[in-house]
């Protein structure tokens, strides 16, 4: 427990699809007036240096945001360059807003992305949970610089457990109850897979209309293989629309398969516009991040 530090992985291909999906989903939800309770059950440190010691050691942004940006740069120089799809543009704008000098030196984690999207009149609330002793301190000091007041609450608590206290969410000023939850564990321990499924089942009982986003790794482990199937069954049993986005960047150029090469984002109560938005984005992201044999992407939905 606690050997996982997101700083080693910030900006990798998994972060790209995770944050692309989070932004597109919240943008859709914010088309309605009512305030939203946004919960990030596994928040991480909030903001990462892409030129720091951790990211240099892992170098995972090379197969993620760095590769995406350089491929897009090369494509934009061509005569028949196509416009960037809307959801991808929103993601790129978000990364650019943390890097005003042009070079990608900082990568925003989900807490900073979600904070940047809170509507300025404080109707949306952000609730962050991070259990790691060092990362929870880093998160608190990063968030302190945002001067976010009472829109953000941070707790060094178990996100799976604490989520229960927040659902159903309090009514917003318009009287409506709305919530979006990002569940993004490190899956360091096998029991995380079961906890995710059990939590989503519990969430649907407590607040059936919430939008729930789960990131999961695609690896050769039965629990990992079963998780999206279990989420699909839970959604179907509750008659909730779901979406499952997967990306595999394929094998390493030397043919080896070391490191994480594939992951997915499962959305319960997926907005109806999300599938087309993500498909358009993935038509660019998928090929841009393809590394070797076995690369693929898909957007499945109910
Ligand atoms: N959501 C972050 C982002 O997109 O920037 C990345 C989160 S990282 C994949 C998972 C985090 O969950 C780690 O920082 C880990 O310390 C933390 N963690 C692990 N178990 C936890 C738990 N039960 N409750 C809250 N945080 C936990």
Instruction: Provide the pLDDT for residue 1.
Output: 59
Closest CA to 280 of 90, 91, 86, 94: 86
Dihedrals phi, psi of 65, to nearest 5 degrees: -60, -40
Residue with CA nearest ligand 1 atom 13: 44
The CATH number that domain 6-301 falls under is 3.40.50.150
How much distance in Å is there from the Cα of 178 to the middle of ligand 1? 23
How much distance in Å is there from the Cα of 39 to the middle of ligand 1? 12
Q: Which residue of 44, 162, 163 sits with most ligand 1 atoms within 8 Å of its CB, as the best mutation to test the pocket?
A: 44
Atom of ligand 1 nearest to the CA of 40: 1
Instruction: Provide the pLDDT for residue 54.
Output: 59
Q: Copy the structure tokens of residue 237.
A: 């049993």
Dihedrals phi, psi of 156, to nearest 5 degrees: -85, 80
User: Phi-psi bin for 214: left (phi > 0), alpha (psi -120 to 50), beta?
Assistant: beta
How much distance in Å is there from the Cα of 136 to the middle of ligand 1? 9
- Residues with CB under 6 Å of ligand 1 are 4, 6, 18, 40, 42-44, 109-110, 129-132, 135, 158-160, 184-186
Residue with CA nearest ligand 1 atom 5: 109
Q: How many CA atoms lie within 13 A of 78 on its CB side?
A: 8
Q: Do the Cβ atoms of 10 and 48 come closer than 8 Å? A: yes
pTM of this structure = 0.96
Q: DSSP states of 234-287 as a string?
A: HHHHTT--EEEEEEE--S-TTS---S--EEEEEEET--TTHHHHHHHHHHHHHH
Residues 6 or more apart from 10 whose CB is under 8 A from it? Answer: 48, 50, 54, 55, 60, 61, 107, 109
Atom of ligand 1 nearest to the CA of 46: 5
Q: Copy the structure tokens of residue 1.
A: 């427990």
The H or E element that residue 101 is part of is none
Instruction: Provide the pLDDT for residue 8.
Output: 87
Residues 68-113: tens digit of each pLDDT? 999 999 999 998 889 999 999 999 999 999 999 988 999 999 999 9
Q: What is the layout of strands, in order, in the sheet containing 37-40?
A: 152-155, 125-129, 37-40, 179-183, 211-217, 262-268, 242-248, 296-301
**What does the buried/exposed string (b/e) look like for 216-227 if buried means 16 or more CB atoms within 10 Å of the residue's CB?**
bbbeeeebbeeb
pLDDT less than 70: residues of the chain: 1-2, 52-58, 255, 257
Instruction: Provide the pLDDT for residue 150.
Output: 83
Q: Where are the domains of the chain?
A: 6-301
Rg (CA), the chain: 18
Q: Copy the structure tokens of residue 106.
A: 């900082």
Instruction: Provide the pLDDT for residue 51.
Output: 84
Atom of ligand 1 nearest to the CA of 109: 5
Q: Which residue of 40, 130, 134 sits with most ligand 1 atoms within 8 Å of its CB, as the best mutation to test the pocket?
A: 130
Instruction: Provide the pLDDT for residue 3.
Output: 74
Instruction: Provide the pLDDT for residue 301.
Output: 98
Catalytic residues: 184
């Amino acid at each position: 427990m606690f050997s996982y530090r997101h700083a080693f992985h910030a900006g990798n291909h998994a972060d790209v699809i995770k944050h692309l999906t989070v932004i597109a989903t919240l943008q859709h939800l914010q088309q309605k007036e009512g305030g939203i309770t946004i919960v990030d059950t596994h928040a991480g440190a909030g903001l990462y240096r892409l030129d720091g010691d951790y990211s240099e050691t892992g170098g995972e942004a090379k197969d993620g945001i760095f590769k995406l940006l350089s491929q897009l740069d090369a494509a934009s120089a061509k005569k028949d360059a196509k416009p960037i799809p809307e959801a991808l543009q929103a993601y790129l704008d978000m990364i650019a807003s943390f890097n005003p000098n042009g070079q990608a030196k900082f990568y925003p984690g989900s807490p900073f992305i979600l904070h940047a999207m809170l509507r300025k009149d404080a109707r949306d609330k952000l609730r962050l949970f991070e259990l790691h002793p060092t990362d929870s301190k880093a998160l608190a000091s990063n968030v302190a610089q945002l001067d976010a007041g009472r829109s953000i609450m941070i707790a060094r608590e178990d996100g799976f457990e604490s989520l229960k206290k927040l659902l159903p969410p309090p009514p917003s000023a318009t009287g409506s109850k709305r919530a979006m939850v990002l569940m993004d564990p490190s899956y360091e321990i096998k029991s995380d897979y079961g906890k995710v499924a059990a939590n989503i089942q519990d969430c649907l009982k407590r607040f059936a209309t919430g939008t729930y986003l789960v990131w999961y790794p695609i690896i050769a482990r039965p629990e990992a293989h079963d998780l999206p199937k279990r989420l699909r069954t839970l959604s179907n049993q509750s008659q909730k629309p779901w979406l499952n986005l997967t990306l595999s960047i394929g094998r390493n150029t030397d043919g080896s398969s070391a490191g994480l090469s594939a992951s997915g984002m499962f959305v319960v109560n997926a907005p109806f516009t999300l599938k087309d938005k993500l498909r358009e984005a993935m038509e660019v992201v998928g090929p841009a991040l393809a590394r070797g044999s076995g690369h693929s992407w898909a957007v499945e939905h109910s």
